[in-house]
Amino acid sequence: MTLKVAIAGVTGYSGEELLKILAYHPGVEITYVSAKQERSQKIQEIFPYLKGVLDLDCRVWDPEEACKAADMVFLSLPHSVSMASVPAVLKRGKKVIDISADYRFSEAGDYPRIYGFEHTDPVNLKQAVYGLPEMNRKAIGAARLLANPGCYPTGALLGLLPVHRMGLKLKSPCIIDAKSGVTGAGRKASKALMFPEVQENFRAYKVQAHPHEEEIKTHLGPVGWPGIAFVPHLLPVRRGILSTIYLQTEGPVIAEEVRKHAESIYAKEPFVRVLPEGSFPELAHVRGTNQCHIGIGFKERTQTLIVVTAIDNLQKGASGQAVQNMNIMCGLEETAGLR
């Protein structure tokens, strides 16, 4: 049976990526797409590469219309916008995958501090499942409301999971030095994101506080480390996130053991690749795929374990992972439509 899906926010970067994946997914029919602004255009006119593939109006977002047309609703909307639609979609018995941050924390009280807004749907926060399949596959299979992880947290958590599960002790805070391509900021216009500002430039941003630091800490769980410090940077490329994670260990660590542990944790994971000794990930190798590549090394002199991860922010960091989650939630082949 074909699964009917709706996409809200289809004209944004993550929404368009969902469209590109789902239009060719063997078990899915896209039956509703929407944006904020009225366009009076078909989706195949907005994105001409879809001519002959889809024939759909791009509508102004209306949860009721979406639910009439589809069984699964993807919300690729700005933070604080999704939570206004989720209750209406769940009430109509449909499943929801929210790509925004609106359901990534289970406590409504965390939102004013982390995101600067009051949460209006605390009841459904309690049933939302955090959608990192490598951590949470069983719960994802039973979810009706799925909180798709943030892009930076996906790269960081996949790198940290093996180290955390090994119970490694650290003598200083874990440092996550992460760099993202510009599509990570969305399609909205902003001076800081204009081509002349970004091209041949490189800068850190939100150094003091970024909500993704809280998301990483929350979903990694108690670690017993002196802390986690996350700093994001803006790379002059379109897509991809490279995260270099520094872990100063209490005693000597054999990188080979950490690598073997990571290989065993991820042995059956279709989208995580642990690289051989001496190899480290590159954005070019994951771009356009749902894969996460992980490289592991150890600096003897400073006793620092180095874990490097690379993902495509629009794929494993957003829409690819959302489709992976849809596949799990709906009993489809987990890798269907993805590479």
Ligand X SMILES: NC(=O)c1ccc[n+]([C@@H]2O[C@H](COP(=O)([O-])OP(=O)(O)OC[C@H]3O[C@@H](n4cnc5c(N)ncnc54)[C@H](OP(=O)(O)O)[C@@H]3O)[C@@H](O)[C@H]2O)c1
Which residues are annotated as catalytic?
151
DSSP β-ladder status, 272-274 and 174-180: unpaired
Of 4, 36, 137, 285, the one binding ligand X (CB under 6 A) is 36
CB-nearer residue toward ligand X: 197 or 263: 197
CB-nearer residue toward ligand X: 74 or 298: 74
Per-residue binding string, ligand X, 86-125, x by CB under 6 A, is -------------xx-------------------------
Of 27, 78, 288, 297, the one binding ligand X (CB under 6 A) is 78
Q: Which long-range contacts (CB under 8 A, 24 or more apart) does 332-335 make?
A: 332/3, 332/27, 333/27, 334/133, 334/270, 335/270, 335/271
Of 6, 14, 168, 242, the one binding ligand X (CB under 6 A) is 14
Name the CA dihedral angle for 178, 179, 183, 184, rounded to a multiple of 10 degrees: 20
Contacts with ligand X in 164-193 (CB under 6 A)?
Answer: 183-184, 186-188
Tokens of 184: 């990570």
**Nearest distance from C-beta of residue 241 to ligand X, angstroms:** 8
Judged by CB under 6 A, which stretch of 12-20, 155-163, 170-178, 258-266 contacts ligand X?
12-20
What DSSP assignment string belongs to 205-246? -S-S--HHHHHHHHHH----SS-EEEEEEE-SSSS-EEEEEE
DSSP state of 305: E
The answer to whether 232 contacts ligand X (rule: CB under 6 A) is no
Cα(136)–Cα(158) distance, integer angstroms = 12
The answer to whether 337 contacts ligand X (rule: CB under 6 A) is no
Cα(33)–Cα(15) distance, integer angstroms = 9
Which residues are near ligand X by CB under 6 A?
8-15, 35-37, 61, 76-79, 81, 99-100, 150-151, 183-184, 186-188, 313-314, 317-318
